[in-house]
Copies of this chain bind each other. A is one copy, B any other.
Amino acid sequence: MDVISYRPEPHELAWTFGGVPPVRRVQPGTVLELWSEDAFAGKVRGVDDLVSQVIEFPFVNPLTGPFHIEGAEPGDTLAVHFVSIEPSRDWAASTTIPLFGALTSTHTTAGLQEPLAEVVWMYDVDTVARTVSFRARFSDDHVVMPLDPMHGTVGVAPASFEARSSLVPDAHGGNMDTPEMRAGVTCFLGVNVEGALFALGDGHCRQGEGETCGVAVEGAMDTTVIVDLVKGLPTPWPRLESDDHLMSTGSARPLEDAFRIAQHDLVTWIGEECGLDPLDSYQLVSQASESPIANVCDPNYTVLAKIRKQYLPRLSAGGAYAGVHARLKEIGAAYQAQRL
């Protein structure tokens, strides 16, 4: 088992998918122990640290990576299994940002109203009790919610010679901001360039579906993933597999196009995996799918289409992609057993 630990120095952070040289070259099957800074580049540490004052755009949402996966070529699929995602600090932060978020005009949903006030909320993170604690700023209220760590941003270099800001979700993955990107899940990403150039960041201690105000409970993370390759099989949009579900993502505007992409991908994916006619698959998905919204605030909005594996006739025993998820999960278990 190859294990590589990597903790970027501030000057090693990446701000785009594509257009950045790799920080490491790794073999398929490698376990990566990664640390990622929070989306504020660690600069929001108290309620007086307003984003508009402490962050110089575009130095927001830093990435750890990219990693060149040896042998990855366009037309392949990169599999990334999340072994664990754990907050590396006992606090996290959220905020409103002027002209950003779902319940305000923005630079694209442009308007003439005054922006909302810029307010920061600090959260206590308890990794033992597995909780995060919200404290209201304008009253004495206090709410304890479950810790549910995840990565908002996971992706590879895009196609068409593009480089995309780490704030953007699209077919290459990126800033999808879905709570489903949690430990135990395998993410499948289509490879667009040699080496795939995988990176991640934007840890969230938890977030609501939609990330309504534009910002989650943002925290630095210690994350272990296993990367692997599915040679010769392309993946049009990022997909996820958990023990119980298959999930397709779509990222686009308007939001219905994100929904359409995800549903279309799930319909065709399970059609192929299970040998179902597209119309039968369309009907089954119509009655069986869940559709968790990921974000309605980023440059593209993201929705998932999610179906229980138990509803999928003839899905191979190990799951999709001939059982990659089950196999990587086993390796992850072996890795974790070894660490104890």
Contact = CB atoms under 8 A, between A and B. Distances in A.
Contacts of A206: 287
Nearest to A164: B162
Contacts of A134: 283-284, 287-288
12 contacts: A58-B160, A109-B260, A110-B250, A136-B276, A145-B287, A145-B311, A160-B165, A206-B287, A208-B288, A212-B282, A213-B282, A254-B255
A261 interface: yes
B253 A252 contact: yes
A111 interface: yes
Contact of A111 (B137, B143, B264): B264
A102 B213 contact: no
Contacts of A2: none
B94 A103 contact: no
A113 B104 contact: yes
A26 interface: no
B210 A291 contact: yes
B252 A255 contact: no
Contacts of A252: 108, 253
A67 interface: no
Interface in A278-304: 278-280, 282-293, 296, 301, 303
Contacts of A305: 210
Contacts of A111: 103-105, 113, 260, 264
B288 A291 contact: no
Interface residues on A, range: 35 or more
Closest 10 CB pairs of A and B: A138-B277, A254-B254, A110-B264, A255-B255, A209-B291, A141-B313, A58-B160, A213-B286, A208-B289, A113-B113
Contacts of A112: 103-104, 116, 264, 267, 278-279, 282
A273 B211 CA distance: 22
A110 B252 CA distance: 11
Given A207-B286, A280-B139, A259 B313 contact: no
Contacts of A39: none
B256 A301 contact: yes
Contacts of A108: 252, 257, 260-261
A19 interface: yes
A335 interface: no
Contacts of A285: 208, 212
